[in-house]
Structure 1
């Protein structure tokens, strides 16, 4: 049975507050009392709970993180960046997912009520922004990663989605491509809007147009989005898929139709997830700096907990074009 602080106080014939002051090396406890308390602690093997230590310090030295789920291909890199920074500072990470919808949000709310963490890192799950906004307004520090909806009022770390897509367009134009298809992500995401605008603006400046079709950021979605255009015989010699999973689906569909990549059709993705270097042919893509975004967001939150105001404007970690064999 775990020894409690109340048991230590009873045996040492002091209050729980005095035990707490001894544990935290406060100088207002006389020497003989402190020695007696420490003797009881040693005899009972008492160790304070992390929550008790956090309450004594006024903080938990734990950061909360709320994400939609762990299946997104780049999520592991973001989490590793966050963990590297937190561990180096001696902070813990309390990770919450939204895999079970409202039930998951209820569980997360219990952690909030228990003051289980000092600040929150957020990759916006669906149907959660109103609740997170309420928490933020009540004083919870929040830093958003990969702001999918361009929510003002939150500090955030993002990447150069628009410029990354523009780099992809310039690369395809320079390689002589003239008939473009853009396979977008869901329209409600901020990154979808930015990537579409970045790509199409470069084409417009060059006097070119593109066919835009909507996907869903999955491999099957990329395949389904491009198949009707291939079947219709529409002229296309370049496809920009707004993430690598859809780009892999596009490669599948082109292979099934007997279209050679990149000879007949060039394909460019976005993200540079692990599979991009191992597709056939290997995928030219725009690298999203996922790990660096996690690191930057964790540093921003910890800096705020140390007293630095959160910045009003997003911190942008730039993308980079990675040229491989597909285009």
Structure 2
């Protein structure tokens, strides 16, 4: 008597195509990045991949047994990449870690959706053994594509649903909360915040840490958003001064935005820290050289980059029990600005 055939419960490419309302060929082109496909079709396929938890076995180029390269995929403009020291620091940490294993680190800059197919084609042909995904916004389709392609990937910063990729992060919420508590303990009563982009987990976590401390103290507050750049911090600070002229402290969610806030306060004739205390986040090298020197929250960026590299090499080498997530503690560094 023959045994009954048990159907394979795993979703297929045809299932993805059916749910997305496209042909299997179109679904394949979206995942391979081999041709131009409409934005609506791409979005439909990525949504279907997420709903079905579809995992595609990636075709790999023939290679030696050792890992040859890891791609650092950075989302953002060239100007942003070289202006924000966060990126160079995380790449420096990863590069040092990979150098011991003679693994090449390849930089790919993604300036927008138009660059996604190029990156997808590069990775689909097995050109890299793993991906460090840096500065991706929530629901970025590139993260879902990497997930669907089964490319070993680790994200810089907490990944959010529907993306389920491993990540390395700092305890952003706790760090922000401690910074604002310090301002309140020092006697400040009108503490405002310049938050990062709300569609990035790092921006949301630091904003929520600010709100936690404000709620604990029963104080009032105000949040305006920037994009982690100096210019956005300056613009937000000028707006905050207009809407809340009585403010006496500001927590900026990055050192570059704090630098912009210092410039705006100087233009407005406000003394730091006498009139307004300022705290940033990152402890970038510039923080020790501002005027006044910047109080900030230190996150171990180089160590985070090294941890991302270790995660990938261990995962690709089949090491058991690799943690899906690594979160580093932060530290408040008190200088002159608060």
Secondary structure of the corresponding residue to residue 222 of structure 2: strand
Unmatched tracts of structure 2, length 5 or more: 1-60
**Matches of 1:246 and 1:184, distance apart in 2:** 9
Alignment correspondent of 2:281: 270
1:161 matched to 2:172? The reply is yes
1:320 matched to 2:327? The reply is no
Alignment correspondent of 2:93: 81
TM-score relative to the length of structure 1: 0.77
Report the CA distance shift for 1:127/1:208 in structure 2 as closer, same or farther (over 3 A): closer
Deviation at 1:113, TM superposition (A): 2.9
**Matches of 2:143 and 2:238, distance apart in 1:** 39
Which of 69, 73, 78 aligns to 1:62? It is 69
Deviation at 1:145, TM superposition (A): 1.1
Q: Choose 73-82 or 138-147, whichever is displaced more.
A: 138-147
Aligned length: 273
Secondary structure of the corresponding residue to residue 208 of structure 1: coil
1:238 matched to 2:268? The reply is no
Alignment correspondent of 1:3: none
Deviation at 1:67, TM superposition (A): 0.7
Alignment correspondent of 2:8: none
Deviation at 1:76, TM superposition (A): 0.5
Are 1:78 and 1:294, in contact at CA under 8 Å, matched by a contact in 2?
Answer: yes
Deviations 1:254-309 (A, max 9, x none): 11111111011100011111211111101101112111110011111111112125
Are 2:138 and 2:159, in contact at CA under 8 Å, matched by a contact in 1?
Answer: no
Are 2:287 and 2:294, in contact at CA under 8 Å, matched by a contact in 1?
Answer: yes
Unmatched tracts of structure 1, length 5 or more: 1-53
Are 2:67 and 2:313, in contact at CA under 8 Å, matched by a contact in 1?
Answer: no
Deviation at 1:60, TM superposition (A): 4.7
Which of 238, 258, 267 aligns to 1:256? It is 267
Alignment correspondent of 1:196: 207
Deviations 1:120-159 (A, max 9, x none): 1111445984344233333311111123656641111011
Are 1:150 and 1:190, in contact at CA under 8 Å, matched by a contact in 2?
Answer: no
Deviations 1:147-191 (A, max 9, x none): 365664111101100010011012111211111111111221111
Are 1:158 and 1:315, in contact at CA under 8 Å, matched by a contact in 2?
Answer: yes
Are 2:159 and 2:167, in contact at CA under 8 Å, matched by a contact in 1?
Answer: no
**Matches of 1:168 and 1:182, distance apart in 2:** 11
- Rg comparison, structure with higher value: 1
Alignment correspondent of 2:237: 226
Deviation at 1:209, TM superposition (A): 2.1
Deviation at 1:58, TM superposition (A): 4.7
What is the alpha-carbon root mean square deviation over aligned residues?
A: 2.2
1:301 matched to 2:312? The reply is yes
TM-score relative to the length of structure 2: 0.75
1:1-327 correspondence runs (5 A): 55-58=62-65, 60-69=67-76, 70-71=81-82, 72-99=84-111, 101-125=112-136, 129-147=140-158, 149=160, 152-231=163-242, 234-309=245-320, 311=322, 313-327=324-338
Deviations 1:198-239 (A, max 9, x none): 122122112212111222222121111121332456211110
Deviations 1:23-49 (A, max 9, x none): xxxxxxxxxxxxxxxxxxxxxxxxxxx
**Matches of 1:320 and 1:58, distance apart in 2:** 40
Report the CA distance shift for 1:190/1:151 in structure 2 as closer, same or farther (over 3 A): farther
Report the CA distance shift for 1:88/1:258 in structure 2 as closer, same or farther (over 3 A): same
